[in-house]
Amino acid sequence: MGKDKNPRRVAENEAMAKTRMLRTSPQKLNLVAAMIRGKKVEKALTDLTFSKRRIAGDVKKCLQSAIANAENNHNLDVDELIVAEAYVGKNLVMKRGRPRARGRFGALRKPFSELTIKVRQVEEQA
């Protein structure tokens, strides 16, 4: 008399990972996410390792989490994984400010983002 099992949010040959509260703007994060979309995971990890962008380390961490989920939770083969989707969403924006000349106040917006990465197992064509 237990509860029914939750249905999977992704297909049988997919796994995903989500990172929230990344301290960068969605526009900057999307540039890094676009860099890895559709690539094999080994190539994507290499690209993120040698990227000069600050946020690339956090994107790499999220991708490694998606790979680990695929391997440990869904029994997928790591060598056949590709980055099926990598998309970015907005999160909160901290409103800060700094005093300016003549008693005015300059607004500073400090945006946060969230990143979702889905990896999919595809059989290699021989």
Residue 96 clears pLDDT 90, i.e. is over it: yes
What pLDDT, on the 0 to 100 scale, is given for residue 6?
A: 86
Amino acid of residue 34: A
**Per residue in 2-58, pLDDT tens?**
888 888 888 999 999 999 999 999 999 999 999 999 999 999 999 999 999 999 999
Kindly state the tokens that stand for 122: 């595809």
Residue 77 clears pLDDT 80, i.e. is over it: yes
Would you kindly state where each structural domain of the chain is located, as residue ranges? 14-121
- φ/ψ of residue 112, rounded to 5: -120, 155
What pLDDT, on the 0 to 100 scale, is given for residue 5?
A: 85
Measured CA to CA, the distance from residue 90 to residue 54 in angstroms comes to 18
Fold topology of 14-121: Ribosomal Protein L22; Chain A (3.90.470)
Percentage of residues in the chain with pLDDT exceeding 70?
98
What pLDDT, on the 0 to 100 scale, is given for residue 9?
A: 85
Distance of CA 117 to the CA centre of its chain: 5
Residue 126 clears pLDDT 90, i.e. is over it: no
Amino acid of residue 12: E
Average pLDDT over residues 75-91: 96
Average pLDDT over residues 63-78: 95
What pLDDT, on the 0 to 100 scale, is given for residue 87?
A: 96
Dihedral sign, CA of 70, 74, 80, 84?
negative
- Name every residue whose Cβ is closer than 8 Å to that of residue 63 and which is 6 or more positions away in sequence: 17, 36, 41, 44, 45, 48, 83, 117, 119
Q: Are 45 and 65 in contact (CB under 8 A)?
A: no
What pLDDT, on the 0 to 100 scale, is given for residue 7?
A: 87
Lowest mean pLDDT among 9-18, 54-63, 102-111: 9-18
